[in-house]
Copies of this chain bind each other. A is one copy, B any other.
């Protein structure tokens, strides 16, 4: 029963290197699943109607369709289908994505930023993970190449770097300043990596933040743009939570918009923006739609981007269509605008209320401090664990924050992801908690009470 050809020690060590990391991530994935089970309400929005019509265009010729689908969805489906020769959405598209859909997305980006966007810069992808892997594949030759990556950060970036054998050059987000980027730390880490012979190729920024739920202030974004420009770094901007901002005083500003508003054009900075349909208020993670917008790459380099993208023929057409709908939602005057607007605002303001309740409750707990929730769907409180708890974790060969998270899961059924999965300052412990926009169902209140009770009992048990 032991096949001869393959043993673990004969596999690619870069894959093996991912081990612990993705092991820990089981909790993260479970949390994501629960979040999505709760979030997903496919019947509730017009995007799904359009997708169904595009899947089965025959419906558009049936008289009964008018009673089952909104006229807005029907009109939109017709527009989209007209972009496909013979209305056939079943074939491969251009490897970069269907041309007409890229036009729609480029127009959406231009409207969002108030700066032009070229459809040739858009590469439609199966969610945000593949293009991140593609860019790492392109940029990383061997372990002498490095990428600046925030700590804490979503595991996608560290995984993609490990898989390419890159040197991860960490920089620490400043918890004391709402998880902003400390430019002095950034410079220190870059210089230190360079002094060790690492060729630093790019800088990853996640805004709004995952796992931190912060939104960068514009001044900080300008500093980051100047830093990348001065230091010859490709700015890799994860902007997948751009529609999830609920702090009143904050808004979304793409790094491209920031760079252009500083007067920097194509030739001044190399910039990649990642987006996907997995987030926003609709959260269609399972559709695997996404794009990267690639600017400031010369044409020879862009050809190489295209080559890597074309290796998987094209991204799935349904995800491409959904991405175009997300970037071109119902407009004022459209039949479905009112319901779309109401749904979006409802979800976002519910997010805001829940996040606020969570932050308030966490800050009331012994040893816990939590930055304000501004965007994405997360809060990332720090927890000062008693020495006894740390010792108990060590005794069971577990990270202290994972020990806490596991206890929480076992006691209450609540899933949080330990900060050690994302990276954190040495000696600090955190957990990422997903904001669930369902306070009307009392779910949130119940969860928070249960959490509070658990934490009190935990501290009682382990108090020094």
Contact = CB atoms under 8 A, between A and B. Distances in A.
B7 A298 contact: yes
Interface string A296-320: 1110110010011011111111110
- Which residue, of A4, A57, A133, A265, has the highest number of chain B Cβ atoms within 10 A? A4
Contacts of A130: 312
Contacts of A293: none
Interface size class on chain A is 35 or more
Interface string A199-241: 0011000000000000000000000000010001110000000
A117 to B, nearest CB: 17
A49 to B, nearest CB: 6
A190 interface: no
Contacts of A300: 7-8
Contact of A48 (B58, B68, B127, B311): B58
A8 B22 CA distance: 33
A361 interface: no
Contacts of A32: 92, 313
A347 interface: no
Interface stretch (A267-275, A323-331, A386-394): A267-275
Contacts of A315: 126, 288
B270 A5 contact: yes
Nearest to A287: B316
A448 interface: no
A89 to B, nearest CB: 6
Interface stretch (A34-42, A170-178, A435-443): A34-42
A12 B141 contact: yes
Contacts of A19: 307
A402 interface: no
Interface in A129-148: 129-130, 133, 137-141
Given A36-B88, A286-B316, A304 B16 contact: yes
A352 interface: no
A414 interface: no
A137 B33 contact: no
Given A42-B88, A68-B65, A68-B68, A139 B286 contact: no
Contacts of A234: 5-6
A11 interface: yes
A444 interface: no
A184 interface: no
B58 A43 contact: yes
B15 A138 contact: yes
A29 interface: yes
Contacts of A138: 11-12, 15
25 contacts: A5-B296, A6-B234, A12-B164, A14-B137, A15-B304, A18-B307, A18-B311, A32-B92, A32-B313, A33-B92, A37-B86, A39-B91, A42-B55, A43-B58, A51-B55, A64-B64, A90-B283, A90-B285, A91-B285, A126-B288, A129-B313, A156-B311, A288-B312, A288-B316, A288-B317
Interface of A: 1-8, 10-16, 18-19, 22, 29, 32-33, 36-37, 39-43, 48-49, 51-53, 55-59, 62, 64-65, 67-68, 85-93, 95, 126-127, 129-130, 133, 137-141, 156, 159-160, 163-164, 201-202, 228, 232-234, 265-270, 278, 282-288, 296-298, 300-301, 304, 307-308, 310-319
Q: Which 5 A-B pairs have the closest CB atoms?
A: A36-B91, A40-B88, A52-B56, A288-B316, A286-B317
